Amino acid sequence: MSPLSWTRRKSVSKGVDSTHEEALAIGDTLGVRDYVIPRAAVTLGEKLGSGGFGTVFACTISKEVHGEEVEAVAKRIYPKRLSASDVPLLKSEAQNWSSISHPNCVSFMGCCLHESEYLLLCEYMPGGTLETRLAQYLQDGRPPPTQDELVAWMAPLADGMKYLHSKGIIHRDLKSANVLIDNEGRLALSDFGLSRKFDLGKSEFTAETGSYRWMAPEVTRHEPYDEKCDVYSYGCLCYEMTTYRIPLHEMTTLEAAFAVARDAMRSKIPASCPPVIAKLISDCWQQESERRPSFELICQRLEQLKMRASTEEPSIQRTDSKRRLAEEEDQAASSSTASLKRPKSISSALVDMTVH
Residues annotated as catalytic are 173
Who's near 104: CB < 8 A, 6+ residues apart? 156, 157, 159, 160, 163, 186, 187, 188, 189
Measured in whole angstroms, the distance separating CA 243 from the mean position of its chain's CA atoms is: 18
Phi, psi of 221 (to 5 degrees): -85, 5
Who's near 345: CB < 8 A, 6+ residues apart? none
Q: Which of 301, 308, 306, 263 is nearest to 284 (CA)?
A: 301
Strand-pairing partners, residue 105, are 189
* Coil, helix or strand at residue 128: coil
Q: For residue 125, what is the DSSP state? A: -
Give buried/exposed letters for 313-350 (b at 16+ CB in 10 A, else e). Answer: eeeeeeeeeeeeebeeebeeebeeeeebeeeeebeeeb
* Coil, helix or strand at residue 322: helix
Sign of torsion over alpha carbons 309, 315, 317, 318: negative
Q: Where do the DSSP E strands lie in the chain?
A: 42-51, 54-61, 70-77, 108-114, 117-123, 169-170, 179-181, 187-189, 196-197
Confirm if 208 and 219 have CB atoms less than 8 A apart: yes
